[in-house]
Every structure is written in C-alpha cells, then in structure tokens.
Amino acid sequence: MEMEMIMPAYYDSNIYVINKKIIIDTGMTADHVLPSLEKIVPLENIELIILTHTHYDHSGCAGAILEKSGAKLSIHEADAPFLSDDNLSGALNFGSRAACPFPDIVYSGGERIPIGRNSDGEDEYLEVIHTPGHTVGCICLYERNSKTLFSGDTVFSEGGIGRSDFKISAPEKMTDSIDKLTKLDIENLCPGHGRPTVGDANASIALSKMMSERLNP
C-alpha cells in the first residue's frame, strides 16, 4: 500500500491518499485541500472517497472533490443521513453549511474495500470496522499487509480518544469499539487529527481503551 498524508489547516482532518486513487476523509478548507491534493494526484484520477464519519471537518470538501473527480462517496449507513444536516454534521460550528451529497456507497461494517496489489502481487484491502462512539456511524479502516489502521476520530496517537458528547455520539459504545481495535495487529496508527504512530501502535490503542474506560464507565 502506498499512502500519502495531508494536514491542510488547523481544524481540518488529516487526509490520507491511498495508492493515488482513494481518499480517506477530505478536510473542510477547500483553498488548502484541493491544491495539496493536486500535488499528489490529478483530481480526475480519484476513484473513491471514504469518510470515517459525518463531521464537517472530515467531510466538508467532499463536494468540491467530487465535482472535479467524478469519484464515488462512501460512509457508514448510520452516519449517512447527517451529511446534509447543518447542525448534526457540525458545519454550523465552523460558520458553514453542509454541502455534502448523499453517498453512493454505505457500509454496515465488515466490508473489504479493494485498493490494489502490493509488490508481492497480493491483493490489498481496507477492512471496514464499525466503531460507534464519537458518532453512531464512525468507522476505522484496517490494511492487514502493512498492519495500518486509519482510525478517524475513534482513537488518536498516544492514547487519545474522540469526544463522545455530540448529539449523534454513542458514548456507551466507545469502549467496546476501541476493544475491537485491541484485537488487531497494528503497527501504524493513522488518526483523523495529529501525528501518526509508526511502530507498536497497539500500545497506543491500549492506552486509548484505558482512557475510554475512565471517561465512559
């Protein structure tokens, strides 16, 4: 798997470009996001946008990218209805209006999204893991060959966890969601905000579970 990361502006989510054709999250500041993307890949080559959840800082640029690329948009089915809701998407918190179209693809968890083949000729997939907590439809994406987890706002590096006090949060499910991640062999953690963890990311996720147990007893 080839992965390139964009950290556009202070409040934007991290953006991950996979094999120069798939984007995980889009940020929200188009003036920063689009030029940064175009340095990596022609926008018309983008085939799929995967949103880890509905919040505007992760989805706000999806419409602009779709308009220039013709890519398909995907998200978990539980979060899909909130993409066009100014309030529940959090767009109003950033002085904006939700402008994200309804997704072409919705996930329920357990899907394997093909992303290509590695240098050994092995098929590569992003596995969709439903991790409700931060929102009811949060997902993480796991690539087994590289042992890489794209965690959205479920967990962050150094034991951080996402807020679970939004109207569309599910705080009672956060710890169980993180517990799913502790069962995976994860070397690299690529979160929705902040720097990735490279090497022994399971230790960071174990700390995140402890934090969640304290905050969501």
Q: What is the DSSP string of 124-166?
A: EEEEEEE--SSSTT-EEEEETTTTEEEEETTB-GGG-B----S
pLDDT class of 199 with cuts at 50, 70, 90: very high
Angstrom distance (rounded) from CA 34 to CA 65: 7
- pLDDT value for 206: 97
Domain limits for position 141 = 3-215
> What average pLDDT does this structure show over 139-162?
97
- Rounded to the nearest 10 degrees, how much is the dihedral formed by the CA atoms of 52, 56, 61, 63? 90
Bridge partners for 6 per DSSP: 15
HEC profile for 24-64?
A: ECCCCCHHHHHHHHHCCCCHHHCCEEECCCCCHHHHCCHHH
Residue 12's pLDDT is: 93
Region 145-154: what's the mean pLDDT? Answer: 97
- Rounded CA separation 110/26 (Å): 22
The CATH number of the domain holding residue 36 is: 3.60.15.10
pLDDT at 23: 98
Tokens read off for 11: 């409040």
The answer on pLDDT for 67 being more than 90 is: yes
Q: Tokens in use for 30?
A: 């188009």
> Is pLDDT above 90 for 217?
no
Which pLDDT does position 105 carry in this prediction?
98
In this structure, are residues 52 and 152 in contact, taking their beta carbons and an 8 Å threshold?
A: yes
What would the pLDDT profile of 172-187 be if each residue is shown by its tens digit?
Answer: 999 999 999 999 999 9
What total number of domains does the chain contain?
Answer: 1
